[in-house]
Amino acid sequence: MSHKEEYGDYQTPEQFTKVVCEFLFYKKKVRPSCVIEPTCGRGNFLKSSLIFNASQYYGIEINEKYCDICRRYFDSRYVKIINSDIFNFDFTHLVGENILIVGNPPWVTNTELSKLNSANVPNKINLKKLKGIDAITGASNFDICETIILRLIQSFKFSNTHIALLCKNSVARNIFCEVKKGKIGFTDFEMFEFDSKKIFGINASCCLLYIKLSPKSISSSCEVYNLDSPNKLKSSLDLIDGRIIPTLTNNIDNFDGSCCFEWRQGIKHDCSKIMELNFQDHKLINGKGEIVLIEKDLVYPLVKSSMFKSPIINSFSKYVIVTQKKIKEDTSYIEKIYPLTWKYLDDNNSFFNKRKSSIYKRSPKFSMFGVGGYSYSRYKVGISGFYKTPLFSLLVSNTKPVMIDDTSYFLSFSTYNDAYTSMLFLNSRRVQGFLKSISFQDNKRPYSKKVLARLDFKKIVEKISFSELQETEKYLNLDPFITKELVQEFKKLVFSCTRD
């Protein structure tokens, strides 16, 4: 990662800072007495914000060269440029009436920074108190931009400050969650989406996030617009029972609740060259192109997220070595029971040593994550977290449990019939409509474990009729298999489930 990437140093073109400031001035009628640009870089937002004719301007920036550029350009009586790390800067002395905070904080994730051992991170990185397991599965990966905006909100809450900052849509939604949960007062919370390809040459869904804070404890929903057509509401979001929900439209069924079955994420090993094997000409070949001759016992069929292409997956070309039955299990048993497998793994130990995450360093040799009794269930229904249209696949092999990778999620069943019936319910038109309505297509993983855990099977089995399941079978090009008896059995399972 370069210095530029580490500091999220992508200056906003002046043409665009002008569009944003004019929008705030003319459309939002913002008339601040003081303008602050945190992480101001070369000061393009400060330049365009001269339109506000405020009595005081502040720019805070870590890069000394940029501070000098700004100081040469602006009149120091009105525009104060402060060379400081934003994470050590105390904003409270700037809090006052009628302030505008405008700009573009760096877009870089804590995971990208930690790979670099970068010091450009806030002191309290666990601001949102994410659990250890989230760190392992990547759920705690968040943008530094998000931390900066949350800090600004913390400093300026209880005032009537306007916050207008560029960020990813996912960051804006997380901020909305935090602000609502923290009961921080605001009168407006709006996302104005723009074309990041056109402005920054990058593919990311992003917006101008506009928040008008309020000293009173009031709030509203989050409204989403296009910056090009700011009068046309695209959608609105709300926080209900701790979850962010696009406001449901009338023709979408509400299957929202808590799933009686536990959604699991697939296995994670970060060593695909050695652990993943392709089955070619009756031979297992590893990522180095070598033929691998090992005992078959620890080799399992593998479905990766790009392979979720049909409703039933029962033939496999990819396999994975699974070294453990549960997390942290001692792996030394492999040496005694499966000497060829152990030798193969040990010969390739250097690949395991290259695994960056510290979680592997504290674990037995050749450890994996996302393994447990559930990984070994014979019937699974899985989904790729990445796809835009959710397709649920029944995963079954005649010989062994099927494993899935850590970018996919699955439910485990003990019978084929229950797995098949659940796959049909999940692929039915109305469940798909509901899932799309509660997920965000611009998220890297629209169908995360969190989203899937909201599918309430009790509501689903009550509302979806037998004929809809038959229609789903036809639509998926499956031979007729579903019967009323199978549905009855599945309903019994759902209502006997004690997981809520």
Ligand X SMILES: C[S@@+](CC[C@H](N)C(=O)[O-])C[C@H]1O[C@@H](n2cnc3c(N)ncnc32)[C@H](O)[C@@H]1O
Alpha-carbon distances, residue 41 vs 7, 37, 61 (angstroms): 10, 9, 6
Residue 10 within binding range of ligand X, rule CB under 6 A: yes
Residue 401 within binding range of ligand X, rule CB under 6 A: no
Number of Cβ atoms within 10 Å of the Cβ of 124: 11
Integer Cα distance of 135 and 22 in angstroms: 41
Helices 484-496, 416-427: crossing angle, 10 deg rounding: 90
Instruction: Confirm if 402 and 377 have CB atoms less than 8 A apart.
Output: no
Distance in Å, CB of 45 to ligand X, minimum: 5
Q: Which of 20, 24, 39, 189 binds ligand X (CB under 6 A)?
A: 39
101 versus 451: smaller Cβ distance to ligand X: 101
Integer Cα distance of 314 and 307 in angstroms: 12
Q: Strand (E) positions, 49-203?
A: 56-61, 79-83, 99-103, 162-168, 186-195
Integer Cα distance of 141 and 150 in angstroms: 16
Q: Which of 86, 171, 213, 307 binds ligand X (CB under 6 A)?
A: 86
Write the CB contacts of 1 (distance below 8 Å, at least 6 apart in sequence).
112, 115, 116, 118
105 versus 301: smaller Cβ distance to ligand X: 105
Q: Which of 103, 246, 301, 446 binds ligand X (CB under 6 A)?
A: 103
Residue 63 within binding range of ligand X, rule CB under 6 A: yes
Q: Give me the residues paired with residue 212 across strands.
A: 162, 188
Residue 106 within binding range of ligand X, rule CB under 6 A: yes
Residue 311 within binding range of ligand X, rule CB under 6 A: no
62 versus 482: smaller Cβ distance to ligand X: 62
Q: Which of 120, 154, 331, 432 binds ligand X (CB under 6 A)?
A: 120
67 versus 271: smaller Cβ distance to ligand X: 67
Residue 387 within binding range of ligand X, rule CB under 6 A: no
Distance in Å, CB of 445 to ligand X, minimum: 25
Question: Which range binds ligand X by CB under 6 A, 60-68, 262-270, 287-295, 383-391?
Answer: 60-68
120 versus 483: smaller Cβ distance to ligand X: 120
Select the residue whose beta carbon is closest to ligand X and give its number. 41
Distance in Å, CB of 178 to ligand X, minimum: 20
Write the CB contacts of 470 (distance below 8 Å, at least 6 apart in sequence).
480, 482
Binding site for ligand X (CB under 6 A): 7-12, 37, 39-41, 44-45, 60-63, 66, 85-87, 103-104, 106, 120
